[in-house]
Amino acid sequence: MVWSWFCGDRIGPILTLDRGGIGAVKYMKILYDGLLSMIPELTGWPVDPDTIRVADKCSLLFMHDNAPCHKDHRVHDLLQKHGIPVMCWPPQSPDLNPLENVWPDFKHRFHRRFRALGTHLSMSSAAIAQYGKIVQESWAEVHLEFLQQLIESMPK
């Protein structure tokens, strides 16, 4: 499992996660590691969550779906504490997050690199480390122009 984000002309880091699902506590760690540390750089906002911020047309709007770990009150409180507005998702709605359109291309790049290794799927530590390297290389090939097209395709 992997997690990442993009925003305007920036692509975030891609985090590789252990097998299986994740709960709210692990999702909060993902947010700390992959998102919250980047907020000051992305927005120019101060690190202090108690500082009042004025939203404008360039403000951040965080998207995640209705997965149980996303809807947990602790996750909600964490995002609210850091002043990160979250897009409302109606129950059983289609996934409108433009990041979902990145995954097919990313998976194609990953599988192409994996097949080039000529190895078989393995759960050994060495193989998992190699998969992580391929994930990072494949993510680095995502084109910013493609991400910008996805953002522009979203209704205002």
Q: What is the pLDDT of residues 115-155, one digit of tens each?
A: 888 777 777 788 888 888 999 999 999 998 998 888 888 77
Structure-model confidence comparison of residues 78 and 88, the more confident one: 78
> In the structure, what pLDDT confidence band is assigned to residue 64 with cuts at 50, 70 and 90?
confident
Residues with Cβ within 8 Å of 93's Cβ and at least 6 positions away in sequence, in order, are: 66
For residue 29, pLDDT beyond 70: yes
Query: What pLDDT sits at residue 134?
Result: 92
CB of 4 closer than 8 Å to CB of 12? yes
| Tokens (6 digits) for 97 | 């997050």
Residue 50: the pLDDT is 66
Structure tokens at 60: 């951040």
Residue 116: give the domain boundaries: 2-152
> How many separate domains does the chain show?
1
Q: Residue 129: give its domain's CATH number.
A: 3.30.420.10
